[in-house]
Amino acid sequence: MPESPRLALWNKSIFLFDLLPIRRWEGPFRRAGYGKAGESPFPYVVGREVLLHDGQNFKTPDLISASGSFWVVLDLTYFPGSKERRLREYSEISPRALRSFGFPPQDGPPILFSVRPDRVDDGPYPQLILGDTLTTANLDCCADSALREEFERVQGHDLRTVPGTSITLLPESKGPEIKEALVPSILELFSPERPVLSALDMVDRGLERLADVVSATSKRTLCRAVEAEMRSLLLGDDALLKDDIEFAEAGYKARGNMSYHPNKLNRVRRALVAWSADQRPGSPQRGLSDFDPDRG
């Protein structure tokens, strides 16, 4: 299953705040004092609506964090064009908004970071380029000298195996990303309690803490995409799990009595690997994936 590039960007961004002593990693934001335990209840907040200076309008940046002296707003994007205008809009976020999250109070404007997998000119803002390795651009535009130093220290760090997070779906997720996000929910259907999960349940599970902040429109779009992917898994003569899962009135449900014999569990696993390997949205399976260790 090829990893979702959008999720990879999220995972790599969160990695910059992580403390993982076993792999000898302390993220640059963390080392520079952002989201420090004892000074704020959260290391960062994601996808939260925040008030602008005008006191009337709101924005929903991807990630906000604060240290004792500075605060940052991160915009994560794959958009090929410049995000300079969006970043400029984020400069209108009121520092008073930080109080809602328990961050240390701030006076000045945020340091606005553009976060991308590849270099794109997003104007005079510091940019984090999170591809296979970590690079930066326009770091001199970052007002926090301690943070600049920390990013200079980790330049070139290998990002290919950063940990995943609990967020497995994003509002802009498409076919293959959706399939990958659906895997654990589909396995969950086989629990002895035989839960019924709707498309919305599955979407909320994938969005995780973003579920409360994603718009109803985006969720409806995601639900339709989930339903299309589930149809490819359950309907048609070639559908791999048509005998195992049915669509009940309220959602998806495992059929009949489940045997937890390893052969049965392995068959379901192989079916999901094969289904997920097909990258066309809503497409039926074509064959075993290159990632199936039992291939052959």
Chain residues binding other proteins by CB under 8 A are 1, 3, 14, 17-23, 26, 35, 37, 41-44, 46, 160-161, 163-168, 180, 183-185, 187-188, 191-193, 205, 208-209, 260, 262-263, 265-266, 269-270, 272-273, 276, 291, 293-294
Q: How far is the CB of 61 from other proteins (least distance, A)?
A: 16
Cβ closest to other proteins, residue 21 vs residue 55: 21
Please answer whether residues 71 and 107 qualify as being in contact, where contact means their C-beta atoms are separated by less than 8 angstroms.
no
Compute φ and ψ for 23, nearest 5 degrees: -95, 15
Name the residue nearer to other proteins (CB basis): 120 or 167: 167
Q: Which long-range contacts (CB under 8 A, 24 or more apart) does 52-61 make?
A: 52/92, 52/93, 52/94, 53/92, 53/93, 53/94, 54/92, 55/94, 59/89, 59/90, 59/92, 59/93, 60/213, 61/90, 61/93
Residue type, 80: P
Q: What span, in angstroms and rounded, lies between the C-alpha atoms of 112 and 141?
A: 9
Q: Which is nearer to other proteins, 96 or 209 (CB)?
A: 209
Residue with tokens 């520079």: 32
| Cβ proximity to other proteins, 1 vs 143, nearer residue | 1
Q: How far is the CB of 184 from other proteins (least distance, A)?
A: 4
Report the C-alpha gap between 154 and 12 in whole angstroms: 13
Minimum distance of other proteins from residue 144's CB (angstroms): 21
Phi first, then psi, for residue 58 (nearest 5°) are -130, 155
Query: Which CB, 22 or 216, lies closer to other proteins?
Result: 22
Q: How far is the CB of 288 from other proteins (least distance, A)?
A: 13
Query: Could you tell me the smallest distance in angstroms from the CB atom of residue 127 to other proteins?
Result: 22
Output the smallest distance, CB 224 to other proteins, in A.
22
Nearer to other proteins, 83 or 179 (CB): 179
- Picking from 268, 247, 248, 251, the residue whose alpha carbon sits closest to that of residue 259 is 268
CA dihedral over 182, 183, 186, 191, signed as positive or negative: negative
Report, in Å, the least distance between residue 10 CB and other proteins: 9
93 strand-pairing partners: 52
Nearest to 245 by CA among 205, 202, 281, 294: 202
Nearer to other proteins, 148 or 289 (CB): 289
